[in-house]
Amino acid sequence: RLLVDWPYAAHWVDSAIKTAYSILKSWRKNYVKGYRKRRRPVARRLFARAKQTLIKLEGEKLRLTVKPGEYVFLDLSKRYFKLPSEVSSAGLGEPIITPEKVHLPVHYGDGNQGGNPSVAWDFNLLSLDGYSPETGWIRIDTSKLASVHISSFEKRRSVQRKASRSKRARRVLSKYSRRERNRAGKHQLEIARVIQSVCGSVGLEELSKERMYTRSRLWNRRISRSDWRSITRILEERLGEAGVKELDPYGSSSFCSRCGWHNQDLNGADVFVCGECGLRINRQLNAAINLYMRLRFGYTEKWVGGRKYIKLRMEGASQRREWWDHTVLPSLLLGGCVLTGAELKGTNELVRFLYDAVKPKLCYAYDRHADAYLRMPT
């Protein structure tokens, strides 16, 4: 019925249906989470999405079918990137055409990605901490990204009051905002590149900023400057939905990763101390281990008496401690963990001083000379 008196290629109708379904799917996902109101989504910009069956790569030109036997050619000779060998989900993607630009997605496969392990990441204000038994503790210092937002905030605040009365101030404010987006976007891409280089698949916290604006104004500003969702979106585009799994972050920092004991008096401390098994470890590393266990074993959510509980799909606490001692503990210590045969004072002796003994095995930070995130000595 949609093809009656339709003069163009039939695949344009399929493309329109696919685009509409994608918009509705995105709206429904956000509506279920409470981020959207019960209003139908509206496409506010004019665009067209071309299916892969409508395009063909011919040397330095991209052929786009408009009507049967009629084509439009896009010149790609002045590009700054290398073209893949074919048009496919692993090569040249579906272009999005607007009245001003043509957005052409290009995917380059990573030959080492398939052999890399799964890593769970804990998002923090000034760092990203990851863990897997194969890689150990990984830390990415994001303080430079935070400084971009802080410096831009101070510049914008100096002209924000004048913006309502002066056109020149509005132009300056727009320039500062655009500069902040560009600089922050560059750091986000670099951080995503580092994560992709060490991971085959990732487990990320499903954080909601709206639910974290609960403290002082200073805390709320720090949360608003965070780029967790932007980094997650970049990784989803690069690794696909199968390569990125969002995990419930509830209690990841306050529950002991070794025995499951709940520390209710953490109060922002850097050290997590377990009152049951004696584990003394970096708080962010403890959260990353908890997230990795949820990624590997799976978990169930349960509400009891108005409180939320996250239960791992493991048989019991004894199995959890045994797995932790035989898998996690050797991976944390540089060079592994070797038992010398000396008599232990207790089964928990080895984990009481991990905070002083354990450092990140892989540490990445921004290098201003290389203008990239490089591996730093630990």
Distance CA 241, CA 243 (A): 5
CA atoms within 13 A on the CB side of 251: 18
Q: Give the pLDDT score at 291.
A: 93
> What does the alpha-carbon distance between residue 90 and residue 312 come to, in Å, rounded to a whole number?
35
∠222-309-32 over CA atoms, to 5°?
65
pLDDT of 372 reads 86
Q: State CA 333 to chain mean position distance.
A: 27
Residue 311: the pLDDT is 83
Distance CA 259, CA 191 (A): 32
Distance CA 157, CA 177 (A): 11
- Residue 198 in contact with residue 116, Cβ under 8 Å? yes
How many Cβ atoms sit within 10 Å of the Cβ of residue 75? Answer: 9
Residue 36 token pair = 């959207």
Give the pLDDT score at 111. Answer: 43
With beta carbons less than 8 A apart as the criterion, state whether 325 and 278 touch: no
Give me the tens of pLDDT residue by residue for the chain, a chain 378 residues long.
Answer: 667 788 888 888 888 888 898 889 888 888 887 888 888 888 888 999 888 888 888 888 888 999 988 999 988 887 767 776 666 545 677 888 898 888 888 765 544 445 678 899 999 889 999 999 998 899 999 999 999 988 888 888 888 777 777 888 888 888 888 888 888 989 999 999 999 888 888 999 888 776 677 777 887 888 888 888 889 888 888 887 778 898 988 888 889 888 888 888 877 788 888 888 888 889 999 999 999 999 988 888 888 777 888 888 876 556 788 888 888 888 887 544 444 343 444 555 556 667 777 888 889 999 888 888 988 876
pLDDT of residue 88: 56
